Structure 1
């Protein structure tokens, strides 16, 4: 029987080896596109890889397509091995870049670290909203897609919505072999270097916050902190809420956010949704919210003028009748420009506007 893999794909090179198996860069003969093909190390039947392979396929089936999750296309068994066809990320993994940076003592700048954190948080937000948790967030499971530009300078991409139009680098979560359901967790612990203490203690009430913990340490690695311990005193020191030493000066606000993400109490850690809106990562959202608030106030003021039949403008007077004629049920000449909610005892349809707060006098006949 002809192998589907050999029939449909032209293998170019091996691009990775992981816990599950090897990953190959291949061209699909039918469409000419490049894909990442993952092949399990051992035959699945009766092996420890079987459950991991099924977890990954099931997770992809539930998740569908999201710009910050590596895209899944197909999976099949061949000679007892599981083969998974995924999107090829042309920038490799975050771990690949970290290793290259370490050789030159070069690290991601804070702006780049924030970009990574924000984009991966978007992917986690989607995964968590689908009722799943990743359980193995780390640099080798964060993949990089660099936008390609053709001769005309226009972007060449088959991505319908990369979710980050302003960035030339897209970060995506991959390797879903440890994914489990929040409601019915079947936890297979991931890399112990990134493992939250509550998971080790088999406390599974806040599994989504374990992903947040691992993401903070992933950012610390990208910032240049070096290798993390798999156990021991330093391992426990980090689980007490202490960041590993980072060889560059980060802003106080960003450092505090990372510390919050590894807080010993998972309840105190921000959710992925909160991170996608956090002012440290999205300062423009805070400015937009303030502007919206100001617009709402101005809109309310304008509508109030319309309802009361009053002229608009900064310098207006609610009561302008010099003879004290009752206007809208109120006759006080001492009325201020500030509207408050004290009701008029004379059944005025509008709020009393006397700054002293005293009731309005009865309407003149």
Structure 2
């Protein structure tokens, strides 16, 4: 595929993460207190800082406009203001500050058009009337009739707002509820999805697959360090944009996300819907309550790489035959096979994929970074590989000891 250049830029954050990698456990140490503040696009066109998903309700701003005459696109129409006696939402008043006036979208955004729609919502591209910048606005299909439905919908907001800043996770700005539907404002990624690019140009070649593995794994690593499991990673949800002619991949659509542990505050993990079965790991197909959520994300990413390379995830799951990847290098084939291992313990972590893809792209001269970062990264990767070899030797010696 020759239609675009996909390039990854490494920075000091990845080099710093390499120092936290523990080859003995194949894990990366992450701070328990992640940076959970996020940038919110306010109705006044300013950026505000709020701290943590526990205070998401405060960031869901209340718009006090009384104009109910604005008209929007299909599915985004302004709705008449509900009266105090309207029982269509079972008199549920919701979180204070969460509910907006019924015309907020059509008064704060213009030049909108539909990007797509699915089982969970409709996504529009729209330009803010306050700052003139383009955004993506998602409107949920599920209607809120009480606290349970509200919390189900808010899980996507909590998940989006939790990850530390990273170039490979969709950036969240704002959210509100109008007429029982949740609106979420994120950055606009205008090049479509990896899936749409593959449909247009055909399967990706070796170099682009390595870049995709690196960028997507960097996003998954940031999510896992922030206590978030995505659980719906697939080419449709790997979104793309061009920066100076180079493609950047971002993880989007957090409608099925769950916390990795129970201590996540307002992020309750209420989503029990299953993701796309083509990319869903065997253990989640057997038991949707499986706690092995990191491993599930890695399986889905591996199957996504296999799909983008021209393979059939369903056929590989059924037969275990990876001959569809025969055109790839042994190293990339091996990585995809390990990521899609039926045994969760056999799959690499997100950071392990970052490490392996970085090392491969450095050797191929495909990784864009300045000389200082390149030297630092090479040194870190060499140290990690050396420590990993020592750990394997020690483990073998212990296994053979009387």
Please tell me the TM-score bracket, short chain as reference.
Answer: 0.5 to 0.7
Helix, strand or coil at the partner of 2:173: strand
Q: What RMSD in Å do the two structures reach over aligned CA positions?
A: 2.7
Helix, strand or coil at the partner of 1:250: coil
Distance 1:83 1:235, change over 3 A: same
Task: Answer yes or no: is the 8 Å Cα contact 2:164–2:222 preserved in 1.
Answer: no
Distance 1:249 1:30, change over 3 A: same
Question: Separation in 2 of the partners of 1:94 and 1:48?
Answer: 34
Question: Separation in 2 of the partners of 1:111 and 1:176?
Answer: 28
> Which runs of 5 or more residues in structure 1 are unaligned?
150-167, 294-365
Helix, strand or coil at the partner of 2:233: coil
Aligned-pair distance for 1:51?
Answer: 5.0
1:253 alignment partner in structure 2: 331
Aligned-pair distance for 1:128?
Answer: 0.4
Aligned-pair distance for 1:43?
Answer: 2.2
1:194 alignment partner in structure 2: 279
**Correspondence 1:41 to 2:126:** no
Task: Answer yes or no: is the 8 Å Cα contact 1:20–1:52 preserved in 2.
Answer: no
Helix, strand or coil at the partner of 1:274: helix
2:197 alignment partner in structure 1: 97
1:121 alignment partner in structure 2: 217
Aligned length: 263
Q: Aligned to 1:267, which of 336, 342, 345? A: 345
Distance 1:45 1:252, change over 3 A: same
Q: Aligned to 1:214, which of 300, 310, 317? A: 300
Distance 1:209 1:10, change over 3 A: same
Task: Output one character per residue of 1:142-180: Cα deviation in whole Å (capped at 9) or x when no partner.
Answer: 10010147xxxxxxxxxxxxxxxxxx1110000011111
Work out which structure has the larger RCO, using CA pairs closer than 8 Å and 6 or more positions apart in sequence: 2
Distance 1:291 1:75, change over 3 A: closer
Question: Separation in 2 of the partners of 1:216 and 1:40?
Answer: 29
TM-score by structure 1 length?
Answer: 0.66
TM-score by structure 2 length?
Answer: 0.60
Distance 1:48 1:95, change over 3 A: farther
Question: Separation in 2 of the partners of 1:16 and 1:63?
Answer: 25
Aligned-pair distance for 1:90?
Answer: 1.6
The structure with the larger Rg is: 1
Task: Answer yes or no: is the 8 Å Cα contact 2:160–2:170 preserved in 1.
Answer: no
Q: Aligned to 1:139, which of 231, 235, 241? A: 235
Question: Separation in 2 of the partners of 1:253 and 1:235?
Answer: 18
